[in-house]
Copies of this chain bind each other. A is one copy, B any other.
Amino acid sequence: MVRTKSEQQVEFRCIRGGSGETEMHKILNNAEELYGKGRMFNHMFLAPGRSIGEHRHEGDNEIFYFLKGSGVYSDNGNPVRVGPGDTAVCSSGESHSLKNDGDEPLEFIALILY
């Protein structure tokens, strides 16, 4: 099955009390499409100045893989500069947040696995 870009679901959402909305392009649309192994697989775009608020994962695990731009990732409260080619992992029981403090969109892949 091929789903073209024109058929891709796009959602704008303020995530976990962050600043502004995150643009979420769905690579897969739901848990069923993830074969029951997770619940999100998105190409994300965070505009300059915007953020995803700090939150804790319980019972699932989230992976960010950065494609473009620059930002500050909170890894359990420790700020880490992130950019293209970096991977950030937030396992169950851990917390994270993300802020685009650069001047271009911060693009990343986000995957949540159970």
A102-114 interface bits toward B, Cβ cutoff 8 Å, 1 = contact, 0 = none: 0000000101011
Identical copies in the complex? 2
Q: Can you list 30 A-B pairs with a CB-CB distance of less than 8 A?
A: A1-B88, A1-B91, A2-B80, A2-B86, A2-B88, A2-B89, A4-B86, A5-B83, A5-B86, A8-B85, A8-B87, A25-B85, A27-B63, A27-B65, A27-B87, A28-B63, A28-B87, A28-B89, A35-B113, A35-B114, A37-B38, A37-B113, A38-B113, A41-B63, A41-B65, A43-B65, A43-B85, A65-B109, A67-B67, A111-B111
State the A residues within 8 Å of B (CB): 1-5, 8, 25, 27-28, 33-35, 37-38, 41, 43, 61, 63, 65, 67, 73, 75, 80, 82-89, 91, 109, 111, 113-114
Give 5 closest A-B pairs by Cβ, nearest first: A5-B85, A37-B37, A3-B87, A27-B65, A1-B89
